[in-house]
């Protein structure tokens, strides 16, 4: 079984991989963020990609999302687990908590977010944007590891790179979202178009700026991530150990393109 992992701010490698090799790919959408680090863990093939590149060189708007997901497709991964730092939009989601993302609200403005176009029109279902089957496995792994975890949550994706104003943060909060970040869109949309089951684990690092007396800055995000990186690594190891190929057979992602292409075959 092949498992893809995308690491965000603070998660730049996976420990315990054996037979490690670096795979550099070229895709029709350019180069991915970095080499895919391939290795074995618990008898499975793991492919790890640091979303912002080693050295953190891509802004959220600059991450080559299409190349990254296309690269995972070329590698033939069975699923993608995305890990990212987020702000919490709810009192009960405390810095250090994990949230399994089950919905998205897209506030990005400036990112290519489809593999289609240029003569091929497709509309994919995206009502269940992350894989419920993989989400369940990740949730159970967190529980087994004693990690504080919320079983579901809505992630609002902003363009960045600036954090939000207080006015924006309060308005987003009134919309009922749970966490805020800058990177899961278009990643999740592209994974769905590529028919790869995708789940996102959001690691709360701060209370954004809606909360009186709270502030958000890179130092704070990285400090909280550093404290929780061991939890993230344990969660991933447990998921990799527990997951079986047949678990994802009925993932909604696997049939995302059935009936989705509207362009008449003779025009393609
Ligand atoms: N990533 C981590 N904390 C964040 C926040 N408050 N807003 C947007 N992205 C974040």
Whole-number Å distance, alpha carbon 69 to ligand 1 midpoint, is 23
Among candidate residues 34, 45, 97, 208, the one labeled active-site is: 208
Q: What is the ipTM of this complex?
A: 0.99
Confidence bin at 215 (pLDDT 50/70/90):
confident
With 90 as the cut, is the pLDDT of residue 266 above it?
Answer: yes
With 90 as the cut, is the pLDDT of residue 49 above it?
Answer: yes
With 90 as the cut, is the pLDDT of residue 196 above it?
Answer: yes
Determine the atom of ligand 1 nearest the C-alpha atom of 158: 8
With 90 as the cut, is the pLDDT of residue 47 above it?
Answer: yes
For residue 97, indicate whether it is catalytic. Answer: no
Whole-number Å distance, alpha carbon 84 to ligand 1 midpoint, is 9
Q: How many CA atoms lie within 13 A of 57 on its CB side?
A: 7
Q: Are 242 and 137 in contact, with CB atoms under 8 Å apart? A: yes
pTM over 0.95: yes
Q: Are 93 and 176 in contact, with CB atoms under 8 Å apart? A: no
With 90 as the cut, is the pLDDT of residue 200 above it?
Answer: yes
| CB-based burial label for 221 (10 Å; 0-12, 13-18, 19+) | buried
- 225 Cβ contact partners less than 8 Å away, ≥ 6 residues apart: 9, 10, 11, 85, 203, 205
Number of H helices, E strands in the chain: 5, 11
Whole-number Å distance, alpha carbon 173 to ligand 1 midpoint, is 13
For residue 178, indicate whether it is catalytic. Answer: no
Q: From the CB of 181, is ligand 1 less than 6 Å away?
A: yes
Determine the atom of ligand 1 nearest the C-alpha atom of 209: 6
Which pLDDT score, from 0 to 100, does residue 11 have? 86
| CB-based burial label for 265 (10 Å; 0-12, 13-18, 19+) | exposed
Three-state SS for 229?
helix
Q: From the CB of 10, is ligand 1 less than 6 Å away?
A: no
Q: Which of 257, 216, 86 minimizes the C-alpha distance to 158?
A: 86
């Amino acid at each position: 079984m092949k498992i893809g992992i995308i690491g965000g701010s603070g998660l730049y490698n996976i420990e315990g991989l054996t037979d490690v090799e670096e795979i550099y790919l070229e895709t029709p959408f350019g180069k991915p963020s970095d080499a895919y680090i391939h290795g074995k863990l618990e008898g499975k093939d793991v492919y790890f990609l640091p979303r912002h590149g080693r050295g953190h060189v891509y802004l959220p708007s600059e991450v080559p999302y299409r190349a990254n997901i296309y690269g995972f497709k070329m590698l033939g991964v069975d699923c993608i687990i995305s890990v990212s730092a987020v702000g919490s939009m709810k009192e009960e989601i405390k810095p250090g908590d994990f949230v399994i993302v089950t919905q998205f609200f897209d506030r990005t403005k400036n990112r290519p977010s489809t593999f289609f176009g240029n003569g091929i029109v497709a509309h994919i279902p995206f009502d269940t944007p992350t894989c419920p089957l993989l989400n369940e496995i990740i949730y159970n792994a967190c529980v087994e590891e004693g990690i504080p975890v919320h079983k579901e949550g809505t992630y609002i994706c902003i363009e960045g790179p600036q954090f939000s104003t207080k006015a924006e943060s309060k308005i987003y909060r009134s919309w009922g979202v749970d966490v805020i970040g800058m990177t899961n869109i278009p990643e999740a949309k592209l994974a769905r178009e590529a028919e790869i089951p995708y789940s996102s684990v959001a690691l709360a690092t701060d209370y954004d700026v809606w909360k009186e007396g709270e502030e958000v800055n890179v130092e704070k995000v990285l400090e909280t991530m550093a404290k929780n990186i061991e939890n993230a690594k344990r969660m991933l190891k447990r998921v990799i150990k527990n997951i079986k190929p047949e678990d994802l057979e009925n993932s909604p992602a696997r049939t995302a393109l059935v009936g989705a292409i509207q362009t008449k075959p003779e025009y393609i």
